[in-house]
Chains A and B, each alone.
Chain A
Amino acid sequence: MHDSAIPPGLLLLRTFWAAMKFPKPLFVFLSASQSAVALWPIPRNLQTGNTLVKLSPNFDIQVTSIPNAPQDLLDAVARTTSRIRSDKLQRLNVGRGAGDSAGLAHAPSLARLSLWLTGSSVKSIMEEINKDIAGRSEGYSLSVPSTNEGLATLTATTSLGLFRGLATFEQLWYDDPSGTTYAYQTPVKIVNDAPAYPYRGFMLDTARNFFSVNDIERTLDTMSMVKMSQFHWHIVDSQSFPLTIPGFPELSQKGAYSAQEIYSSADIQDIVQFAGARGIDVLMEIDTPGHTAVISTSHPEHIACAQATPWESFANEPPAGQLRLANAATANFTASLISSIARTLPSTLFSTGGDELNVNCYTKDAQTQADLKSSGRTLEQALDVFTQTTHNALKSIGKTPVVWEEMALDHKVTLSNKTIVMVWISSQNAAAVAAKGLRLVHAPSDFFYLDCGAGEWIGNEAAANSWCDPFKSWQKAYTFDPLASLTAAQVPLVLGGQQLLWTEQSSPENLDSIVWPRAATSAEIFWTGANLPDGTPRNVLSALPRLHDLRYRLVQRGIKAIALQPRWCALRDGSCNN
């Protein structure tokens, strides 16, 4: 577990708390209504009451206590201020909150939310999230009183923590049918809500089909609403190379689907800044040595078995083509293109991929066979040299390499013990990665692949299911146990996890609806951990109404999130269970 130590700010907070003189009796009846609060991910520590509080017409969020507040924090405050007015989400019950209207006539109102930073230095949200994954501080404390003209407080040691707290605060508000904005379960008291795991991610593949900068930024915005911290960007693959790399413009010029379907260097910076300002670190991946067929359109000398047929003999999916890993020139080319893009990115992480290496491709490649022969190496030895070349290049610019599990489990490759391994083939392989003492990110196809279940996409297969059938429902994902079959000593190796969208059958048209709200499932698993704030295990039944709430709120914010049930069910918690 991570980030669970009490931050230095907490003592200060307690002092502050006493100073605010909240009437203590308000908190005595709290436990019964906890799970009904529709926060997602649900805070690890949460107490709520059942008093209605209106948002004062003059409500504002004050940051004056923070000297030189960073611009991205001010921007976040402005977004929160706007959302609590514009969400206009009605409660998901039969009257859509009509039952609250009478009480609201005489309800107290909240005048202000004050932000307090208790850390020693004031850094931007982006600087905080771009820190090493072990050194981030995301915790916050929030109190929303039930008193008239009340003053709410949000306290954290970092701007990043404040940002997480704003994401919580935003989810407290509803409109009644007459348009009064209110919270219905005050007082709310959250003390040091901090994530169970630092890596809470979402992976998007922008190579099988292209996604515009706007699509990506809309997705980042949504990710930030559920406190995700990592965008794993599988930006290129065998089908297309939309990434502009300084010094290697020909890769995208010849490898992108079209001149319009390219991420320029400015686009990349735009996305990285947009993400950083929303508490999201961008982990970019250039998958190597497999998944690189498209490089043959600009550098044919570096690619073995380029578009070889039948593709089934040379790759897991068309088109075939892999970097000539035994070739020194190719290894240097790869290291140099990876460092060229990695050094433009603020993250300390960069993924070199390493999944689905096809041996036959190299067996049939005369050049690779000649290279192996002249160097006296086996293919595995050549892969080791290749990987060390690219990883050393990354390390020399301060980056930590990330790889898919095959690099640790299937090949005899020397990986530094800082390397982060993504477990995707089976959740059960996490134990083997941990046994090697390597840190891991859960990305199991059997729980977290969002693309599964839509049928085989290979052309002439008349009736086949997708390889990872069935569809991974949110319920399935929600039951994932990050610590299954790990020893207590191995627990710290688990950095977190993510749901993933491979885009063979997706494109901007269905991005929102295939991702949301499903991808929020892992966001809660890895923020909240195994238990609800009352100490009972997280469970699908109590999660469903909160996930409905999130879904309807996302729709209010313009995200085309899918309906999980008929609205009849969404308005009647428990009535559609069996």
Chain B
Amino acid sequence: MLLPFVALSVLLSITPAFALWPLPRQITTGSTALRLSSGFDIKLSVKNAPKDLRDAVTRTRSFLRNDKLEALVIDRGASSAGAIKAAKSLRSLTVSLVSSGPVKSISDEAVAPLEARVEGYSLTIPADGSEAVLQANSTLGLFRGLTTFSQLWYELGRDTYTLEAPINIVDSPAYPYRGFMLDTARNYFPVDDIKRTLDAMSWVKINTLHWHVVDSQSFPLVVPGFKELSDKGAYNAESIYTPSAVKEIVDYAAARGIDVLAEIDTPGHTSIIVKSFPEHIACPEAAPWTKYANEPPAGQLRLASAATTNFTASLLTSAAGLFRSSYFSTGGDEINANCYAEDEQTQADLAAQGKTVNQALDTFTKVCHDALKKVGKTAVVWEEMLLQHPVNLANDTLILVWISSNNAAEVAQKGFKIIHASNEYFYLDCGGGGWVGQNVLGNSWCDPFKTWQKAYSFNPLAGLTEDQHHLVIGGQQLLWTEQSSPTNLDNVVWPRAASSAEVFWSGAGGNVGTALPRLHDLAYRMKKRGIRAIDLQPEWCALRPGKCDLAA
């Protein structure tokens, strides 16, 4: 980073009381009131500024005008009216790039390989009303800084103000991968729901949508050359993602600094393919499903069949072509051995080749991953592919650790990069009761509910040696949607999914007690922006930080 030196020592306070989320990694604030001038403007001082940056500036202006969030204090800011009226006013924020190289769009920066992304920025807001300055080495960094700037302001009457000028921030993420996973196969989510979720993700600087787009229950993704998969596998003709809808989502995400990591889970979780390609699926809808799958309906790709392997590789290649990301997930979780043991065709294929199921899985995986590599995609897999099966993975493969966060150590020992997706901390669906039909008194398999506090207490480096730390590229919260749908999307996700956004931007070790007021603030701001975020406490508590703590 070539950011200008900030004279931290002259600032009054080093304890930020206002509600930025995620908390910047270096921040100093003062105690002077400052308001936005009625003519306040954001001046984009970037030559040939890309359209997505100009649009981001427009959205920021709109947030400053329309958030109208009153401070979360008992009188909602009324007692500061005098100070605000007397405050200096800020006339402009100047946004500029530090480096003088070619200017890339936010979108291009966002879909670059993780190690190539530059998300840092510096933001200076003087207390005397002189111009505020946002600088970065990339348009993506400028976008992150605009996001921070838009969270600084509160409304009182007609004034938009902060009480904590001057503000100096030098910020960049602790981890490059900060994600959110959405399952659109158990229940379908329209494009607008996904776009609204992308907006909310961008406000907390999440940079990856892990899109678990298809599964055994439905196949909503229209894949060029494989249209019958969605024709016969989507819940209905309206519940699909066409290539143009996917492009819309990918572009919308990229313009908001978010890469879309798509997943077509293989060889398990593929029952629905039987509707269009019955020859490729073993144990389709076999009963009782409990013998053949972790959840209904059963059905897995015939991994030992050369035809099925080639079908899968070309399906993945075609699907990967819909996305801009450098990454694509082939899944690989929860393979059911019994499904293959009882499938005659698979047994015949294995016998003919003299292979075990695991050897066949190795071949299957290699063919799929090689095909992805050929189109420039790095493979991502769930942890079983590395830890439970003797599959040869390229050493740049990213591993999603979900069964237990303790398994990260074993992934690290094998020298692979880790994305934390621990069900014990990060599964947003847990705790809604068992969803299988007559499970009368059953709790969900991953009970209890994972509170924001639990997620926030996650330590990404637990159990790792110092020389393994670099293998942790980040993490994400996840929504499996057996019990979710558009009707509860916002409130099952927000503000909880912001917990990991802060863990992986600001670094672990945050304190739940001091985070809570900021998270209230985020939730209330999200509500102002049209997200149906849940309330964490009675409003009485939200207006009185600490008063609803134990031993308060």
Interface: B534 (CB within 8 A): yes
Give per-residue flags for A303-347: 1 if the beta carbon is below 8 A from chain B beta carbons, else 0.
Answer: 000000111100001110000000000000000000000000000
Interface: B188 (CB within 8 A): yes
CB distance from A190 to the nearest CB of B (A): 27
Residues of A within 8 A of B491 (CB): 509-510, 513-514
Task: Check B516–A460 contact: CB distance below 8 A.
Answer: yes
Task: Check B188–A469 contact: CB distance below 8 A.
Answer: no
Residues of B within 8 A of A96 (CB): 236
CB distance from B546 to the nearest CB of A (A): 7
- A574 CB contact (under 8 Å) in B217, B437, B448, B536: B437
Interface: A546 (CB within 8 A): no
Interface: B352 (CB within 8 A): no
Residues of A within 8 A of B290 (CB): 578
Of A81-89, A381-389, A415-423, A472-480, the stretch lying at the interface with chain B is A472-480
* Bound Cα distance from A514 to B236, whole angstroms: 27
The total of chain A residues at the interface (CB under 8 A) is 71
* Bound Cα distance from A461 to B440, whole angstroms: 30
Residues of A within 8 A of B442 (CB): 473, 475
Interface: A467 (CB within 8 A): no
Chain A residue with minimal CB distance to B183? A566
* Bound Cα distance from A567 to B490, whole angstroms: 19
CB interface residues, A 553-568, toward B, < 8 Å: 555, 560-568
With A510-B488, A565-B483 as given contacts, are A476 and B433 in contact (CB-CB < 8 Å)?
Answer: yes
Interface: A398 (CB within 8 A): no
CB distance from A177 to the nearest CB of B (A): 9
- Chain B contact surface mostly: loop
Of B49-57, B342-350, B537-545, the stretch lying at the interface with chain A is B537-545
Residues of B within 8 A of A540 (CB): 437-438, 440
Of A106-114, A500-508, A523-531, the stretch lying at the interface with chain B is A500-508
Interface: A118 (CB within 8 A): no
- B541 CB contact (under 8 Å) in A459, A466, A565, A567: A459
Interface: A456 (CB within 8 A): yes
- B441 CB contact (under 8 Å) in A319, A475, A576: A475
CB distance from B437 to the nearest CB of A (A): 4
Give per-residue flags for A184-220: 1 if the beta carbon is below 8 A from chain B beta carbons, else 0.
Answer: 0000000000000000000000011110000000000
Residues of A within 8 A of B15 (CB): none
Task: Check B487–A476 contact: CB distance below 8 A.
Answer: no
Chain B residue with minimal CB distance to A507? B535
Task: Check A578–B436 contact: CB distance below 8 A.
Answer: yes
Of B121-129, B375-383, B451-459, B461-469, the stretch lying at the interface with chain A is B451-459
* Bound Cα distance from A479 to B56, whole angstroms: 53
- B534 CB contact (under 8 Å) in A469, A505, A562: A505
Interface: B509 (CB within 8 A): no
Task: Check B512–A566 contact: CB distance below 8 A.
Answer: no
Give per-residue flags for B496-529: 1 if the beta carbon is below 8 A from chain A beta carbons, else 0.
Answer: 0000000000000000110010000000000100
- A509 CB contact (under 8 Å) in B185, B440, B532: B532
* Bound Cα distance from A384 to B217, whole angstroms: 60
Chain A residue with minimal CB distance to B425? A463
With A470-B443, A471-B431, A541-B438 as given contacts, are A457 and B483 in contact (CB-CB < 8 Å)?
Answer: no
* Bound Cα distance from A4 to B460, whole angstroms: 62
Query: For chain B, which range describes its interface: under 10, 10 to 19, 20 to 34, or 35 or more residues?
Result: 35 or more
- B550 CB contact (under 8 Å) in A460, A471, A512: A460
Interface: A454 (CB within 8 A): yes
* Bound Cα distance from A75 to B290, whole angstroms: 50
Chain B residue with minimal CB distance to A307? B547
Task: Check A309–B484 contact: CB distance below 8 A.
Answer: no
Task: Check A476–B441 contact: CB distance below 8 A.
Answer: yes
* Bound Cα distance from A210 to B550, whole angstroms: 24
CB distance from B516 to the nearest CB of A (A): 5
Task: Check A462–B186 contact: CB distance below 8 A.
Answer: no
* Bound Cα distance from A310 to B551, whole angstroms: 5
Residues of B within 8 A of A120 (CB): none
Interface: B314 (CB within 8 A): no
Most buried by A among B481, B487, B536: B487
Interface: A455 (CB within 8 A): yes
Interface: A10 (CB within 8 A): no
Interface: A414 (CB within 8 A): no
Task: Check A565–B440 contact: CB distance below 8 A.
Answer: no
Task: Check A509–B552 contact: CB distance below 8 A.
Answer: no
With A319-B540, A504-B537, A563-B483 as given contacts, are A568 and B297 in contact (CB-CB < 8 Å)?
Answer: yes
Instruction: Give me the 5 closest cross-chain CB pairs, A-B, nearest first.
Output: A473-B433, A455-B451, A568-B217, A239-B540, A513-B488
Residues of B within 8 A of A (CB): 76, 185-188, 216-218, 235-236, 285, 288-290, 295-297, 431-444, 447-454, 456-457, 481-485, 487-488, 490-492, 512-513, 516, 527, 532-541, 546-552
Residues of A within 8 A of B (CB): 96, 207-210, 238-240, 257-258, 309-312, 317-319, 453-466, 469-476, 478-479, 503-507, 509-510, 512-514, 539-541, 544, 555, 560-569, 574-578
Pairs across A and B, CB under 8 Å, 21 listed: A208-B540, A239-B538, A318-B552, A453-B433, A454-B449, A455-B451, A457-B537, A458-B549, A471-B433, A471-B444, A478-B440, A479-B440, A505-B537, A513-B492, A562-B488, A564-B483, A566-B185, A566-B217, A566-B481, A576-B436, A576-B437
